[in-house]
Structure 1
């Protein structure tokens, strides 16, 4: 799982003195979905505990995790045709199909056979796929092979398998945020594996939340320095980057971001994409797709979306690392 964004120390504050009901920061941390999570909220009393967040994330994993053999997604992948979905799975599948259509097939959850073949799935591989294997697997990859009827998900080919890792973490962030809303918490930050959702402001002081975006060094596959600081009081921020999950083979670096059209690891100048959207499931769904689109197409795509903004790190024609953003993203960038 990605962990490209991180909280700044500014996020945490002490109790406010000399108040009848002082507002303070409550911070809860844990481990789930193969990564860390943290929730910071501001309130006069402790309203949420770790076990509640763990329970929410366990329920989501039981529906959406390809790493759990008993999950609904695992059962669908093992099935010949159909599975009955729960609410979590239905929401994510419908959003995935919508994103597939919006991106003209670039975002495709049926890419699972290719992801597995390249060694980024739940099972270990003994060798890399050759071109013949890729051609064979691509016959099972297309969201049009899926059909939703009520709470039933059906596939038209038994070989179709799905992997929602490119969207499920953002969805998990939104579910935790909705739980905080239900507890009448109006100022909080939810982060799972670098996917962030913010509501309200840091207290005391009523200051907008600040988030740092990491950038790679001169070798784009090595971790990095702080590139930008953004400031906001609502919405979600997610990042996809080729330098966070990869391996080397035959002198080449193979990223976990697979282009469903070619069956191979994405190529191009983009190193990372950070997306702003009103909710984390939307931001998470589009960040990988924008990586595959390439810089110019991705900028054009996002500029047409009034609800989204994006920040890009890429290599220019001279091979140097550079950055740019869509017009609306510049409103979030603050001084270091």
Structure 2
């Protein structure tokens, strides 16, 4: 899962509050996928249970989580040639390969050997890999070694392993959103580890929902301040950042975000990228693309992808922290 730090600007929801339309505010929160989640929805009665949401997370983890030994993705990683995918893995891999092609390899799910070498996989460690270890990991990495035939995901070399954490949490948000909508809910906000999707308005009061974007901090244990607040009338918003999760190597911080081409942590002027678009899976995948490209290439990429908007926090040539955004981000 990508590291995202978007804050909800919402008061606690309570069934005691009721709008003129009869809609009441309901709130479900919990812990899943290694992070917290919040679901706020508005309906005439409590139609969604925390148990039903937990079942959705369990289903997703059984397919997509590298932290569950029994998951389908781990079955693929342990296989010699590949496996039959379920609906979740198929949708995520298919979208991931599309983004990989569009980004010229900046986003790559075939990167788990590199992630593991740096200690950011299921088995954590803080030992910096040698040049030989990185070269070995690179030989076993890359989406060019993947192909889909029907529902079968095939690898060209046995040592290839995939990691969909850079897009799966956004997909999870979309799955929960689809579930709510299948139950007739038209006003909601879903947040999983900072990945957010919104539809309709906050009730009672028919207010537009507001989202706060966290101000980056040098200390990952500091309480978050708010950099910007935006109104969300619908769609999804996610953030990828390199300031909360890193390896400390002497005086240098090494990002958890990896460059698939070099096998080393991304090192550019980017601090965080927040992406706004129609669905959370797309936002989640593209925020990784943009942070990996650097500011100039990121803006060029956005011009070619309509419906994709982004807000950037970065360091200029003098080391000063700056921010900028695409034209439609705050609209």
TM-score range relative to shorter protein = over 0.9
Q: Distance in 2 between matches of 1:258 and 1:18?
A: 47
Q: Distance in 1 between matches of 2:297 and 2:204?
A: 42
Partner of 2:10: 9
Partner of 1:94: 94
Alignment length (residue pairs): 329
Partner of 1:215: 215
Q: Distance in 1 between matches of 2:18 and 2:326?
A: 42
Instruction: Structure 1: give runs of 5+ residues left out of the alignment.
Output: 332-336
Partner of 2:164: 164
8 A Cα contact 1:115 1:258, kept in partner: yes
Deviation at 1:10, TM superposition (A): 4.2
8 A Cα contact 1:220 1:271, kept in partner: no
Partner of 2:274: 274
8 A Cα contact 1:15 1:23, kept in partner: no
Deviation at 1:220, TM superposition (A): 7.3
Deviation at 1:188, TM superposition (A): 0.1
Q: Residue 190 of structure 2: SS of its match in structure 1?
A: strand
Q: What pairs with 1:142-291 in structure 2 (closer than 5 Å)?
A: 142-217=142-217, 219=218, 223=222, 224-291=224-291
Q: Distance in 2 between matches of 1:313 and 1:3?
A: 13
Instruction: Structure 2: give runs of 5+ residues left out of the alignment.
Output: none
Q: Residue 285 of structure 2: SS of its match in structure 1?
A: helix
Deviation at 1:252, TM superposition (A): 1.4
CA RMSD, Structure 1 to Structure 2 (Å):
1.7
Q: Which moved more, 1:66-75 or 1:3-12?
A: 3-12
Give per-residue Cα distances to partners, 1:214-245, cap 9 Å, x unaligned: 0113x375644200001011100000000121
Q: 1:173 to 1:18 in 2, by over 3 A?
A: closer
Q: Distance in 1 between matches of 2:306 and 2:201?
A: 23
Deviation at 1:14, TM superposition (A): 6.6
Q: Residue 302 of structure 1: SS of its match in structure 2?
A: helix
Deviation at 1:15, TM superposition (A): 4.2
Q: Distance in 2 between matches of 1:199 and 1:109?
A: 29
Q: Residue 161 of structure 1: SS of its match in structure 2?
A: coil
Q: Which moved more, 1:117-126 or 1:291-300?
A: 117-126
Q: Distance in 1 between matches of 2:4 and 2:28?
A: 17
8 A Cα contact 1:221 1:242, kept in partner: no
Q: 1:134 to 1:45 in 2, by over 3 A?
A: same
Q: Residue 158 of structure 2: SS of its match in structure 1?
A: coil
8 A Cα contact 2:19 2:204, kept in partner: no
Partner of 2:129: 129
